[in-house]
Structure 1
C-alpha cells in the first residue's frame, strides 16, 4: 500500500534526511521532535554569546557527505560550504613528544631526532594510505551509500579480506614503527570509546580518510547541516513540529496507523519512521504486547556505546593550540586509561577548539573549548546531580588549565543523565549502539511491524553525520519501495 502521509519521530539529520527524501517523492511528511530545536547531535546552542556544539565536532569522510546530499538532490558545495581543517589533530605523549597530523606539509614529530622521525613517519603514512585507499573508496563510494547486504559486502571486499584480520592495534603496529607516532594514530579513533586493541581493523579507513581527505567544518558551524536540511524539507512542504514529544506509536491489527503525542493529540499516518533508536522504539514507544518477542530481545540485549560528560567552556581569552583537536594520551597499549575515570587526577584528555577555525563562535578575542570526559559506566543516571557533574568536570578543567590559559566566562556541562533526559539519547549512550556492534546486532530499516521503519543511530551504519543522513535515506527508500 502506498503511504500518503508519513510521521517521522526525531528531527536530527536522520529524520530530516528521511523527510526530504519522502517529500521529494510527493509524500506528505510530518516530523516531530521533543526538543525546542532541530538537529539533535548535529546542531549548536548559544549560551552567553558563545555557540557550543551539541555533539558532532566536525565532518569526517567528506566524500560520503557529498554522496548523501546528492541523493537528496542538494548540491552540497553551494548549499553547505566547508573549511578543510589543515591540522585536525595533535597528540602530546608522556615524554613530551608532540605528534601533529594533517596534510603532508603539516605532519611532524617534535621531540628527540624529530626531523628524522618525521621523515620516517611521512613514508609510513604514504604506504599505509596506499594500502588502504582502495578499501576507503569502496566504503565511501559504494558500501556506505546503500543498506548493508552481506552478499554485496563480500562481492566488493573479498580482495581485501586478508587485510581485515585482527584489530586496529595489530595494523598500526605493522604500519608504524615509532611508538609515539603509533599512539597518535590510535588516538584518532578514541572517539569510538574503544582502545585500538578492541577496535575492528576496518576502522582504519576513518584514519586514512583524515590523512588523505582531511576533516571539515561547515562555514557556519555544524548546525549549518541541519539548517540546509530543514530549509529543504520546509520548501518541499514538510510539516515540522518541535516541543512535540511522542508518547506512543499506534499499532492496530499488526499495522502502524500513527502516533500519540505526549499532549494526548493523535496523529493519523500511513507509516512511521522512528529515529529514536531501536531500543527506545521497541521498549518505550510501542505497547509491549504488540512488540515481536525476537525484536524485544534484540532491543534488551543491544550493546550500548559509551557514556561521557560533555564539558564546554566559553573563554574571554584566545586559545590557539597546535591543532583543531589536541590529545594528551599514553602509548597505544595503555590508552584504555584514557577511556576510564582517573580518580587520582586527570592526566589523559582531549580538547577541541572550534574557534581556531571559526572565531565568530565566540565574542571578540574569546574562545570555545569543548571536552568529553570519561565516566564510570556503572553509575546510575540518577547519580549525575548538578553538584556531582561539576566535581567530575573540575578535574578535567584543572588538567586543561595546566596546558592552556583559561579565563572562563561561561560553562556548560552535559552529563549522561542530561544526554538521556534532555537530548533523548537512550540511557545516555552517545552513539546508541557500540561501534563494535556486529551487523546482526544493528537494527534493520524495515521492521516486523508493518508500516514501521527505523533510521538513526542504531541502524546500519550507525554513527557519524553522513552515515546518519544515509540511514534516513535508506529508511525512506525502503518505505517507498513497499
Structure 2
C-alpha cells in the first residue's frame, strides 16, 4: 500500500512540529515555506557582530519541545538543552521602584513586600488562584480541540466544566487584579500578562490570569544557543524523520475536489497529498489560498478583532549594564492611557512600557566584548494604515528618552548597530494579517471559544495549526495546536 502523504504550508514552529508528528505517524511529509529560512517569527539574524533572536524571547513549558523528541524515540537531552531561570525578570517603575522576579514563589512574594509594602500573603494567594485556573482549563482549553465532540465526553472535561465558574471569566483582568492588590504597581505588574497573547487587560477576561502560573510555577527557561535553537533543533529532528522542507516555495492555492483537500499548488506545480495542514495565518489562508471558495470563509472569524502587534528595535549597545538581566520591563506611568492608545486610538503612547531582552547576558557570544545585544520591544496596534514611518521615529525618541532617564545613562550614543521591525514587516515576513502577532485578540469572555478550529468543518483532510487558531499564540500554544492536529488526523 502506498505511503500516505501530507503537505504543511509554512515552516513556523507549529508547522515543523506538526510535520514531526505526522512523520512519526508514518506520513511522507513535505513542508513548503515562502521564506528562505524556517521558524516564522522564531528566527534570528546577525549584524555588526551582534546576534539577535528576531521574535519570541520567552521560553516556557519546554516539555512540549521535549515531547517531540520522545515521540521520535530520542532522548531530548541529547539534542536540546535549556536552563531554568532563577531570575525571571527585572521590573523598573517610573517612581524608582525596582522588583526582581524570581522563580521561587516565596522569594518573589517577599521581594514584592519589601519593594512595595504589599503583603506577601496577597501575592501567594494570587499565584494559587493562577494555579487553580490552570488546573481547571488546561485539559479543556489548551490540550484539546474545543470543536470536537470527543473532547466533551471525557471525565477530565466534565470535571473542568463543573468548575468553570471558578475561572473568573466575568471580570476583566484589571478588575480582578484590583481585588487582589491594593498597590497600583502590583496591579500593573500582573495586568502586563495580558500582553503575552496580545490583549488588553482592561477588556480581557480574568481567566487570562492563568498566565502567571506558566511563568512562575512551571518556570521560565533559556535554550542553549538562544531562542532560535528551538527552530534549529526541531528542523534537525524533522529532517532526521525524512521530512522535506522546501524553502522559497510560497503556496499559491489549496486544491479541493468534492470538498476534500487534495494538495496544493506551488510555483504553478500541483503537489498532491492526503492531508493538508496550514500553518499560515488563518486570514490569508482563506483569502489567498482558498480565495476561489468564498463559501467556505468563516466570515465572523475573519472579522474578529486582531491582537496587538509589536515595534522592535534591535540595538547593538556599546556598553554593559549590570542592573539589567535577560528579561527587563520598564513600565509606563499611565497603563490605561497606554492601552487606550493601542486599542481605541490605534496609535502608540508617548510613554510606552518597554521590554528589553538581552541574550548576551547568558550567552556572551551574542555580542562583542564589552557590548550587549538589546531586543527592545513595545506593544503597538495592528497595521490599519497608520503612518508607521512617523510612529517609528517618534517612538524611537520616546524609548531612548525613557530608558536614558530610568537607567541614569544617555543610551543614544551607545547604539552602534540598529535594525527595526514594525507591523508592516511582520505582516510581510510572516503572513500575519495586519502584523498582529497572536491572530485574534482575547478581549472578550468567549475568546477561547471563538478562535478558529484546528480542522475545516466543511472540507475533509484540511487542518490548521499556529498562533492564529486554537488554542492561541506563543510557542507553547503553537506546539499544542500541532499536537491537536496530529491527534485529530
The TM-score bracket by the shorter chain reads 0.7 to 0.9
Q: Is the 8 A contact 1:35 1:243 kept in 2?
A: yes
4+ runs deviating over 6 angstroms: 108-111, 340-344
Of 8-17 and 319-328, deviating more is 319-328
Of 7-16 and 400-409, deviating more is 400-409
Find the counterpart in structure 1 of residue 399 from structure 2. Answer: 396
Of 21-30 and 309-318, deviating more is 309-318
Matched, 1:446 2:449: no
Cα distance in 1 for residues equivalent to 2:443 and 2:69: 27
Find the counterpart in structure 2 of residue 271 from structure 1. Answer: 275
Q: Is the 8 A contact 2:423 2:435 kept in 1?
A: yes
Q: Is the 8 A contact 2:333 2:351 kept in 1?
A: no
Please, which of 324, 336, 340 is the counterpart of residue 339 of structure 2? 336
Find the counterpart in structure 1 of residue 291 from structure 2. Answer: 287
Matched, 1:358 2:363: yes
Cα distance in 1 for residues equivalent to 2:143 and 2:69: 11
Find the residue that maps to 1:194 and give its secondary structure: coil
Of 211-220 and 72-81, deviating more is 72-81
Find the counterpart in structure 2 of residue 243 from structure 1. Answer: 248
Find the counterpart in structure 2 of residue 467 from structure 1. Answer: 477
Matched, 1:115 2:114: yes
Find the counterpart in structure 1 of residue 235 from structure 2. Answer: 230
Q: Is the 8 A contact 1:189 1:207 kept in 2?
A: no
Cα distance in 2 for residues equivalent to 1:40 and 1:17: 13
Q: How does 1:99-114 map to 2 (within 5 A)?
A: 99-104=99-104, 107=108
Cα distance in 1 for residues equivalent to 2:80 and 2:19: 19
Of 130-139 and 462-471, deviating more is 130-139
Find the counterpart in structure 2 of residue 98 from structure 1. Answer: 98
Matched, 1:46 2:46: yes
Of 121-130 and 440-449, deviating more is 121-130
Find the counterpart in structure 2 of residue 189 from structure 1. Answer: 194
Q: Does the C-alpha gap of structure 1 residues 10 and 95 become closer, same or farther in structure 2, counting only changes over 3 Å?
A: same
Of 76-85 and 151-160, deviating more is 151-160
Of 138-147 and 41-50, deviating more is 138-147
1:450-471 deviation digits (Å, cap 9, x = unpaired): 2211111122111111110121
Of 78-87 and 64-73, deviating more is 64-73
Cα distance in 2 for residues equivalent to 1:389 and 1:95: 26
Find the residue that maps to 1:435 and give its secondary structure: coil
Shift of 1:163: 4.4
1:106-161 deviation digits (Å, cap 9, x = unpaired): 537889xx73845x543222222233324324545675222236736453252352
Matched, 1:146 2:144: yes
Find the counterpart in structure 1 of residue 128 from structure 2. Answer: 130
Please, which of 457, 464, 469 is the counterpart of residue 467 of structure 2? 457
Shift of 1:430: 1.3
Shift of 1:331: 6.0
Structure 1, unaligned runs of 5 or more:
none
Find the counterpart in structure 2 of residue 309 from structure 1. Answer: 311
Find the residue that maps to 2:355 and give its secondary structure: strand
1:91-116 deviation digits (Å, cap 9, x = unpaired): 333422223322347537889xx738
Q: Does the C-alpha gap of structure 1 residues 443 and 378 become closer, same or farther in structure 2, counting only changes over 3 Å?
A: closer
Find the counterpart in structure 2 of residue 25 from structure 1. Answer: 25
Q: How does 1:158-237 map to 2 (within 5 A)?
A: 158-159=162-163, 161-164=165-168, 165-237=170-242
Q: Is the 8 A contact 1:183 1:330 kept in 2?
A: no
Please, which of 319, 322, 339 is the counterpart of residue 320 of structure 1? 322
Cα distance in 2 for residues equivalent to 1:163 and 1:138: 7
Q: Is the 8 A contact 1:279 1:426 kept in 2?
A: yes
- Aligned pair count reads 471
- Please, what TM-score do these two structures have when normalized by structure 2? 0.86
Q: Does the C-alpha gap of structure 1 residues 398 and 36 become closer, same or farther in structure 2, counting only changes over 3 Å?
A: farther
Coordinate RMSD, CA, aligned: 3.0
